[in-house]
Amino acid sequence: MAFEFKELRNKNEWNDFLINFQKKDDGRENFSFIQSYQWLELQELYGRKVYPLGIYQDDKLIGVSAGIGIRARRGSYLYVRNGPVIDWNNSQLVEALISHYKYYAKKNGLWFIRISPLISKQDYSNTTLSKYSFPTAPMNDVEALDTYVMNLEGNEEEIFMDIKKKTRYEIRKAEKECEVFVSNDSKYIDDFYKIELDTVKRNNWTAYSKDYIKKEFEVFAKDNLARIILIKHQEKFIAGAIFIDFGDQTYYHYSASLTEFRHIPGPYLSIWTAAKEAKKNGLKKLNFWGITYENAKASHPWWGLTRFKMKFPGDVYRYSSAKDIPVTKKYWLTNIYERIDKKRKGY
């Protein structure tokens, strides 16, 4: 059974494959916007080497892998986040792909390959990948492999009534006291980022640069796949969120609120607005993105954010851990560094 591995530079062919890739019986996606062709475009804007790998059998596209070349102090590696997107029950395909990855990594002087395909924890033991003894990526917790997804099927009133009573009250309160702005114009990133810096400081997080967030927004917005929602109170933007659309989902990607106005439930209104916008655009789910792992302690950096997200109705999806495929012994330098960094950050 011969497989062919080659760069795929056709954006429509790439994204069409993802969108039409077979879902699981419970409706889970096997991919996210991180495996989209737009994500590759963003990384190239940042000067990173990308590897848009198409996997073929008998000239038919059967898999894709959006790989990003990372060269950092902690090591050099190929990063395939939320991918590759293939049939993980096909043992011959998995074996051939791993061999190809190792060949590519050695050829390009990389230490290892990091993959985090969206395979549920429940299904993982039945896949070929589980038969390999690859180490779990130390920073697995930041991969957003535990997610919370809100169903948007049904009419708007039904969806609203599925929301907890206290949360519905907060939304109505915000609707009375605030104005809502929805746009795909990147000029509003400046307004959002002012709120973001306040949020980052309050939670002791590390912020992405404004330039990065703006470029990311613009890459998706040019294909009508991104929107920014800002909440204004007393002539001041007090909360906001950025949503990315892909497949049949909208992703709650960035969010922020001003500490001074935390008594105004603007963030609740931004999510409800996003849900309505998504429905209007024919999407079926609102993906809240990362939540804490099961039984996480209150000290986890995402604890409060997870509690907030789960005030809305949804289903928890837990995916298998990110895996590292070592190519040289230098990989273990990265492994040790990331273990120390993980402990320092409280994950």
User: Is 248 in the same domain as 132?
Assistant: no
The proportion of the chain whose per-residue pLDDT surpasses 90, expressed as a percent, equals 85
Lowest mean pLDDT among 89-93, 97-101, 234-238, 290-294: 290-294
Domain that holds residue 28: 4-141+321-345
User: Is 47 in the same domain as 129?
Assistant: yes
User: Is 259 in the same domain as 296?
Assistant: yes
User: Is 330 in the same domain as 279?
Assistant: no
Q: What one-character-per-residue DSSP string does 202-240 give? A: HHT--PPPHHHHHHHHHHHHTTT-EEEEEEEETTEEEEE
Phi first, then psi: what are they for 316, rounded to 5°? -90, 130
Find the CATH number of the domain harbouring 281.
3.40.630.30
User: Is 294 in the same domain as 217?
Assistant: yes
User: Is 152 in the same domain as 247?
Assistant: yes
User: Is 262 in the same domain as 280?
Assistant: yes
Find the mean pLDDT for residues 240-261: 97
Residue with tokens 């429509």: 12
pLDDT at 26 over 80: no
152-195 pLDDT tens trace: 999 999 999 999 999 999 999 999 999 999 999 999 999 999 99
323-338 pLDDT tens trace: 999 999 999 999 999 9
pLDDT at 27 over 70: no
pTM above the 0.75 mark? yes
User: Is 58 in the same domain as 128?
Assistant: yes
User: Is 99 in the same domain as 115?
Assistant: yes
pLDDT at 91 over 80: yes
**Mean of pLDDT over the chain:** 94
The proportion of the chain whose per-residue pLDDT surpasses 70, expressed as a percent, equals 98
* Collapsed DSSP state (helix, strand, coil) of residue 291: coil
Residue with tokens 């837990």: 318
> Would you place residue 24 in the very low, low, confident or very high pLDDT band (cuts 50, 70, 90)?
low
Q: How far apart are CA 38 and CA 31, in angstroms?
A: 14
Lowest mean pLDDT among 98-107, 133-142, 311-320: 133-142
User: Is 263 in the same domain as 159?
Assistant: yes
User: Is 36 in the same domain as 132?
Assistant: yes
User: Is 59 in the same domain as 193?
Assistant: no
Q: Write down the pLDDT at residue 203.
A: 85
Number of structural domains the chain divides into: 2
